Structure 1
Amino acid sequence: MRKTSLALAVAASTLGLSLSQVATAAFIEDSKASIEARNFYFNRDFRQEGAAQHKSEEWAQGFILRMNSGFTDGTVGFGADAIGTFGFKLDSGDGTAGSGLLVPDRSGGSQDNYSGLAVAAKAKISNSTLRVGQMQFKNAAIASSDGRLLPQVFEAGHLVSQEIDGLMLEAAHVREVNHRNSGDYEDIAITSGGRRGIATTGGTTSDAFDFIGGTYKITKDLTAGYYYSNLDELYKQHSLNAVHVLPLGDKQSLKTDLRYARSTDDGNRSNVDNKAIGAMVTYGLEGHAFGLGYQKMSGDTGFAYINGTDPFLVNYVQISDFANKDEKSYQARYDFNFASIGIPGLTFMTRYLTGDNVDRGRSVSEGKEWERDTELMYVFQDGALKNLGVRWRNATVRSNFANDIDENRLIVSYTLPLL
């Protein structure tokens, strides 16, 4: 992964601080480092007749090293963060590539291995921190995907301020992205596939994405957020969110998650025009959680977001996002934490989603789709295998306008703290 000259210059000046200064600071004592070994098996069967590819099946091993330093002493504290990644192929036969675990090669297969180093320099004044370099994001405007072997990383400048108790403000200018199955950085693209109805001129990419916004904890039970984002020349978006947790008594609660986004074009390179509303209500009772969700798209297009990221939608799940033009979708979900019956580390989740009213054009009937997901996970709590996690994820998708899919993912991961 390549770095910009600006990021390298800042990183070099930060890391070039004298040892005497570093030794007297919290630079070392507040540092954290860990390495995660992630073994990933992916199997996706395309069930519809006439599919160009009948199966995507790959097995790979990845390692993710995360290092976060503390800050040097002084009015302005300096530090650095780094993410080192390495992934290699264990199995990928001819005609079964394309899982997103590995970097594609020119023959239609996958490369044997790939690696990268993402470095960000940082400076802190009071409770405000500026980072410049390569990093991950997770907010209503942009969320890095970590759903495959290695994480998605962006090249950006990012400012976070927490000067007021309960208020977090942030802003960023993002230039490029290194996708989860890529060995290099590239321009940022808008998601435009499916029945989204998003059309562009002059390409689907931009070299600038900006956002500003934050969250505020209004009370101990209520948090609200707002973000404005702009993918230069392609879309502008306002995102609002409110989460309320209502205690209902002994080991009971009612969580309400409300989301709204308004997306429009930014110039004449796209036709983006969307209103997205979503709500998820979850009732918790001891180890049980029962959830109901609703999501609706309106406007001339479906929902707009950066390609390859996790969109801020209540009905974005394992495979589908239910964000096509005019789509209405519903979700029923059940979770169980086995710790409530004396088996800590074991969790179960299942959900079913159905969507309809998708605009497929004037000459055909409305689009419909459904998805069923199941996930079982266990993290060893003690002994020689402590912190080893085993996760099985299963999904089934059926649609009259997109691929019919049966999918299984088996993920074995182990995280070792180094500092």
Structure 2
Amino acid sequence: MTMTWRRMGASLLVTVVGTAGLVAAAPGDGATTGAGDGAGGRGGGALVTTWGAADDVAGGTLSDLTVRNVLRTSVGGKDLRIRISNANGDQPLVTDSVYVGRQATGASVLPGSSRRLTFGGSTAVTIPPGAMAISDPLPGAVPALTSLTVSLHVVGTTGVITAHNRAMQHSYKSTSGDHAADESGTAYQTESAAWYFVNAAIVDASQQVETVATLGDSITSSVGTTIDTNRRWPDILAGRYAKLPEPRRLAISNEGISGNRVLGGVAKAGSAGASALARLDKDVLTKPGVRTVLVLEGINDIYAGATTGQLISGYRQLIARVHAAGRCIVGGTLTPMGSSFVYTPEKEAVRQAVNTFIRTSREFDGVADFDAATRDPADPSRLAPAYDGGDGLHPNDAGNQAMGQAPNLDSLRCK
């Protein structure tokens, strides 16, 4: 595959102040950091997003309790920062206690690994509606492919909750009070399938390392995979990069939202999130280090009645805006939907026409052929039986494994 790199500038940087504690591999853990001695803002490194999630809206409110999110790094580095989002909130989000640690099991934290985050030197932060906050850096190494806990005490009662639904990862809500520093999971008596308020984990990594943001819908969120096992196809992709020599590694930020569309939708409780066109800047282009956008989205548009021309026009806008931001964009072919609730012969014709555009137009900087990786050779309109999660639409663990193996690793660097 021949790809053209259109970006001339350096990674997006975020200015932060202050210091906090260290997040590091436990003795004898054997985890690698993915960042050499030269990594760091003053040693030739750059800030990259090692984990990300797209903002949506969770129903209800939260009042004087602690949420404990579990997230998994892709590349390693140092000086961890966490980005907390109130992007979809309708009143200020106030927290006075945020801790990061290494997950042991469930809601419990590896003893001795928990560290307190600060924001401009303060342990408390108030985030206005529509805004975000980035923590001060935690000095020390952050391992690759490691599950971290981010625990946040909510002061007072929230309004609309900014969250990422259908995370395919349990998070936990506590009994009343501040339990952010607790290493035990005893106070965390309620499981949730959403990530609350956190939308990026940022590290200072080797200067060669940047981030691929996977922009998509439930297939990128990997609905249909086994929860708490990190078998999403972007996780498989991250694991492939982790095995490469450091100069060839890339981080992965998963920006899928279940039910999302390229062309339509707004963020509200029970929604499928704002459209890809509406959320591109907030969810992707403002995240540090994003070099490549890998788009796999459009099936929900087809289900909603979008024509081939309308969907291609949407892709062209994504392409133009990503290029204008100095990044590159790779198109993912739409996976089979035969035997699903989406399928009709007319809608299948749109999917095939859209995939032809993605493969042959050369308007994207490259192609990841997820359709070819997952289709049934005996009936290309359908997922291969071994990859079908049961609804004819969402690939299972094996299907996500095949999808994660589909992109060419060097081509996603867009050189």
Q: TM-score, normalised by structure 1?
A: 0.26
Answer 1 or 2: higher relative contact order, Cα 8 Å, separation at least 6. Answer: 2
More helix by share: 2
